[in-house]
Chains A and B, each alone.
Chain A
Amino acid sequence: MNILSIEHLTKVYGSGDTAVRALDDVSFTVDAGEFIAIIGSSGSGKSTLLHLIGGVDRPTSGTVKLQGQDIFARTDEQLAIFRRREVGLVYQFYNLIPVLDVVENMTLPVLMDGRTVNEQRLQMLLRALKLTGREHYLPNQLSGGQQQRVAIGRALMNSPAVLLADEPTGNLDSKNSAEIMKLLRDSNRQLKQTLIVITHDEDIALMADRVIAIEDGRLVRDERRG
């Protein structure tokens, strides 16, 4: 089933002579529950693509449709609601709020939505993310791997339709990397969570159902595997 469709997505930074075409007429569709790896050299436009899908940035032209609805037809305020309900974002540098503890960081999107936290889901995630006993640690009291697990917990807390990860293991050692990827893979398999991961890591690319390669803002390869 087609959950996400990206149509003629173009993003230009700057204008005139200094204009940079970060993304150039990219189109593809994503099925529900798919695990996609986006690869490409640095500066190829893959992060831009991820940010556009996540509704963090707006495209110069083209559309992103989630479950048939154009996300950029929404107002900024609606887009904010979209971000906290429909997508989960994981960054290379964790991007946790330094003054909030583990539980507060993880539940932030739920709290922002004005809903009560599903305690069962929280405990389940804490266990799965091996953060039990560290619920009230501040980010600077955690290791890099633990911080990234909190970031993943935050992304998964709302059971989003799509989970987007920008080099989630780029900052971690191989043991932590493997753990994080296993977590993401499990969530993708068990919860039928659609997962799009940007990576440089060949091993991670090999785990994916499909690999999309971006070069100079253009989609140059789209491979389904298995």
Chain B
Amino acid sequence: MGDDNAADYGSYLFAKTWPVNPEGERLVTGPEITAGRAPEAPGEIALPHYLEGVELAPCGLSVQGADGASAIELGSTVTAQLGERTLRYLEDDSGLTAAGTSLRGTYFQDDTVEETFDADLGQVSGTVVGFYRSYGFSSTRALQGNSVYAYPSGDEVEDALADASDATCVYSILTTNDPQDALTIADELSADIDPQAGGVATHTSLLRWQGVTGSSEVWNTLYMIAGVLAVVIAVAGVSLVYNSFAISVAERTRQFGLLASLGASKRQLRRTVLTEALLLSAVGIPIGLVLGLIGCLAVFQLTGSGLAAMFDVDAYGIQVSVTVSPAVLGISAGVALATVLVSAWIPALRASRVSAVDAIRQTRDIHLTRRARRALARAGKSTADGGTVRLRGLSARLFGIPGFIAHRNLTRATSKGRVTVAALAVSVALLIISGVIGSVMDYASGTAIDAADGTDLQVRIDATTAEGSTGTIVREDGKVDNEALADALARLYDAADGLEGTVRAGYHASYVADTIVPASMVSDGSDHFFGTLLADGSWSGPIYVDFIDTASWESYVDGLGLSCEEFCDPARPQAIALNEYTLNEGGTYGYYSPLSGTGTVETVSFAPLEGMYVGGVVSDTNGQPSVWYNAPDGSERFVPLDEGITARKEIIVGALADTAPTGISTRSGTLHILLPVSAMAANETLGFADAQMNFDAGGSAETAANAQDALELVATDFPELDCTYTNYADTKMQNRMMSDTVQTFIYCFTVICGLIAVANVFNTLTNSLILRRREFAVLKSIGMGESAFRRMIAYECASYALRGFAIGLALAAIAAAFLTQAMTYSFTTFTLEPPIAEAAAAAGIVLAVIVVSAAYALRRSHAANVVEALRDDAI
């Protein structure tokens, strides 16, 4: 690009062929076209967007305008000289051909490296048909921005392979028929290739997404969570069905005895139960399948667009649709049938084992535990010795006769109680687990999906690159004049007021500063976030200092519950440090809170040292903090702090915050310290990064686009500010849909679990109480009053509830352990808070259901009054 152009447009451009997909394949996506169109025929060229309309000083890229003009426009003919760039290290004289280009000047030290360029690879020329911008994710060797893209003429591959230059190369993109084979094929290919000549790389992100890569942590997490979900729902469903059958068979023990006494064989009895189960299944299972399908359709109707966004299916022209798989229906029906049969078989077997007489007399209903038998025997002795009869046990003393009878019932009719306790335990566990899964999934989707709340249009403002900035915002020495910048930003923000359909959502200016964070502020376990700490436990390194506009700052301070008097005083600025960061480390995610408390952070400026780079403050070999300098040749120096640091400035951090104001991302591995914009002028030594202004267009991409047009017009009055616009509305909507989808699934799961749990408790308790209505009638007929009766039931239910809750808690703990294990595969810093709220909610729900079931059951046994219940004699 020549020396005269290098400062603005970089020193070099790559020359590449425009990616052309084979017929019917979509292997590569071209860069985003910003003007014109993509090259479609040999002789057509696309150039980077920053060259549009540019008049270059004479260089290797020559331009011939359509009507003799020299600016690069659509229709211009350009010719680019191709050549080989060689770097030579002066010290050891080793030469290498550089394949890197740089947009902003060189990144080699002139005194150690010599650079030469030989224009010996011919030239590429053609008509400019379009300008493009690369996607953010494009890596250096892929479809990055600083390239001349020419439509392939067909000879390029041959030419590149034929010439002896190291600067030319050919990339082949392969797709495997089965993604599972990708890694093996890559290995085989690289074994065949001379490492000097080339290499093989796999698309790791794609393979992880496809579930191929072994270390696919997110998939492990998903599979494990799905596994826990399936197990939990299956166990709950089976227990519900089992309970219903166990109860319905137990209810008819007497009837079976009677049938047996009339000559029914055990086999006939078992068959009766099984036939009944089959008949019920024949009706119930199809109804269940239909309801399940309706539920699936409803859920996918709600989440279809979210799923489409999640898997980016639009890009592939696929549509999300619900397919009814006969196999899945078959499996569901099979599992349901097996559950019903097993649930019917076990109680039927038990019922058929009871002798006819026992069944009629219901002797088997009372199973004494060993303890109860011993207690009875002891009681026998004491009365034989002439002891008096009185109520025994704590329950009787505390709750009188109702407690006494309830206690007897709980200790002497344990098998009935066990069913109830088991049902309660499963329900409690279900409710807690569904709550835990809800928060786990919430955490996962909240961590992995950035909803970018409140920002539809983001304007990134750079002052240092704008044409009109020198002398206004950027001083002669190249430093940013903070006061002038703050003033310009405030004026632009004012001018941007009232754009149609949008609300201004604040702005901030970001600076990068080298700092020392004292040991007292560094939290335990933050080393993963900070990296190496100094020997005394403090940390030094670059951080962001963000200056927030006054209105946003005030509402932020207010929202955090802090006093504006303390934090909004321009004379005595106090900073707020962000203390919750999400870090994506390859396939895994982590949450970090690197700070332990408030304190004073020092920003520092380092003394320059000839021929060396500043590496920051480190502990030297003696453990003393010192400034570390290094040189490309590997030499290094440690300089004491008082020599290496030329200026220090204190920033008082008055508070830590878990939430960031609009526009500041916590998805960062770098500490953010926030200050009001009024403190900008006092912080001249910091290095300006950029400023950002946010607009909320209510989520509409179109409104945001219109606002962008209007804003671009406004910005022409601010030549000192270089604005880049990003319309986030679509991305935001996509993210929101994804998170909504996840949430919908969570809610469905919670609702299903809740329903199963409630049905289970209701079913078990109601039946067990209704079965005892005769006993209740007897108690009433011999003079038990209504309130005593209610106390007795309450005591029994409370006992069931307590035991069910304890066991349920234990079950939930086991499931939660599996969930936590699943989560830590992907979310390294995930720790499960004890689900106290979930447990309390579960207790509340179960208690409410117990009360409702008991009330319902008692009402029903009341409806048949005492006389009728007593008359219920035989069967």
Residue numbers of A with Cβ under 8 A of B are: 47-48, 51, 54, 56-57, 76-77, 80-85, 89, 91-93, 95-101, 103-104, 107-109, 111-114, 116-117, 119, 122, 133, 135-136, 138, 140, 154
Instruction: Tell me which of B389, B408, B774, B780 contacts A107 (CB under 8 A).
Output: B389
Contact across chains for B785 and A80 when beta carbons are under 8 A apart: yes
For A132, give the chain B residue with the smallest CB separation. B384
Q: How far is the CA of A56 from the CA of B783 in the complex (A)?
A: 9
Chain A: minimal CB distance from B443 (Å)? 48
Inter-chain contact A114/B401, CB cutoff 8 Å: yes
Give the contacts of B375-390 with A (CB-CB under 8 A). 376-377, 379-380, 383-384, 388-390
The reply on B784 being an interface residue by CB < 8 A is yes
Main secondary structure of the interface of B (DSSP, over half): helix
Q: Are B783 and A99 within 8 A (Cβ)? A: no
Tell me the bound Cα distance from A152 to B794 in angstroms. 30
Bound CA–CA A83/B784 (angstroms):
8
Is the CB–CB distance between A95 and B870 below 8 Å? yes
With both beta carbons as reference points, the residue of chain B lying nearest to A87 in the complex is identified as: B783
* Besides A76-B785, A95-B778, A119-B389, 13 other A-B contacts (C-beta < 8 A): A47-B871, A56-B870, A57-B867, A80-B786, A80-B788, A81-B785, A97-B408, A98-B362, A98-B366, A108-B779, A114-B401, A136-B380, A140-B366
Give the distance in Å from the alpha carbon of A116 to the alpha carbon of B781 in the complex.
21
| A119 to B368 CA separation, bound complex (whole angstroms) | 27
Whether the pair B866, A57 counts as a contact (CB closer than 8 A) is: yes
Of B390, B779, B783, the residue contacting A116 (CB under 8 A) is B390
Q: Is B23 an interface residue (CB 8 A)?
A: no
- Decide yes or no: A77 and B383 within 8 Å by CB, A117-B388, A136-B376 being known contacts: no
Asked whether any CB of chain A lies closer than 8 Å to the CB of B589, the reply is no
Complex interface: chain B residues within 8 A of A48 (CB): 867
Residue of A nearest to B379 (CB): A136
Q: Is the CB of B362 within 8 A of A140?
A: yes
Is the CB–CB distance between A56 and B781 below 8 Å?
A: yes
Tell whether A97 pairs with B405 under 8 Å between CB atoms, given A56-B781, A103-B383, A103-B389: yes
B101-134 vs A: 1/0 string, CB under 8 Å?
0000000000000000000000000000000000
Chain B residue nearest in CB terms to A54: B781
Enumerate chain A residues within 8 angstroms of B413, measured Cβ to Cβ. 98-99
User: Does B365 make an interface contact (CB < 8 A)?
Assistant: yes
CB nearest neighbor in B for A82: B783
Give the CA-CA distance A51 to B871 in the complex, in Å. Answer: 11
A83: nearest chain-B partner, CB-CB: B783
B412 CB-CB contact with A under 8 Å: yes
Complex: chain A residue closest to B775, CB-CB = A97
A5, B781: Cα distance in complex, Å: 21
Contact present for B785 and A77 (CB under 8 Å): yes
Contact of B783 among A51, A57, A84, A136 (CB under 8 A): A84
A140 touches B361 (CB 8 A): yes
Contact with A along B784-803 (1 / 0, CB 8 A): 11111000000000000000
Can you give 18 contacting A-B residue pairs, CB < 8 Å?
A: A56-B781, A80-B785, A82-B783, A83-B781, A95-B870, A98-B362, A98-B366, A100-B408, A104-B408, A112-B783, A112-B785, A114-B401, A116-B388, A119-B388, A122-B389, A135-B379, A135-B384, A140-B366
- Report yes or no: A97 in contact with B779, Cβ–Cβ below 8 A: yes
Contact digits for B405-443, partner A, Cβ 8 Å, 1 yes 0 no: 100110011000000000000000000000000000000
Cβ–Cβ < 8 Å partners of A103 in chain B? 383, 389
Point out the residues of chain B lying under 8 angstroms from A57, CB to CB.
865-867
Q: Contacts of B391 on A, CB cut-off 8 Å?
A: 111
Which residues from chain A contact B369 at a C-beta distance below 8 Å?
none
A119 to B385, CA, bound (A): 13
Closest to B774 in A: A95
Q: A92 to B873, alpha carbons, bound, how many Å? A: 9
Within 8 Å CB of A108, what residues of B? 401, 779, 782
Interface centre among B782, B866, B871 (most CB of A within 10 A): B782
Contact A99 B409 (CB under 8 A): yes
CB distance A111 to B783 under 8 Å?
no
Identify which of A80, A85, A135 contacts B380 (C-beta below 8 A). A135
A85, chain B: closest CB distance, angstroms:
7
Q: Quick check: A84 and B870 within 8 Å, CB to CB? A: no
- Are A83 and B782 in contact (CB-based, < 8 A)? yes
| Whole-angstrom CA separation of A122 from B390 in the bound complex | 12
Report chain B residues within 8 Å CB of A114: 400-401
Q: Given that A97-B775, A98-B413, A117-B390 are known contacts, is A85 also in contact with B401, CB under 8 Å in the complex?
A: no
Q: Point out the residues of chain A lying under 8 angstroms from B779, CB to CB.
A: 97, 108
In the complex, what distance in Å separates the CA atom of A93 from the CA atom of B384? Answer: 28
**What is the chain A residue whose CB lies nearest that of B785?**
A80
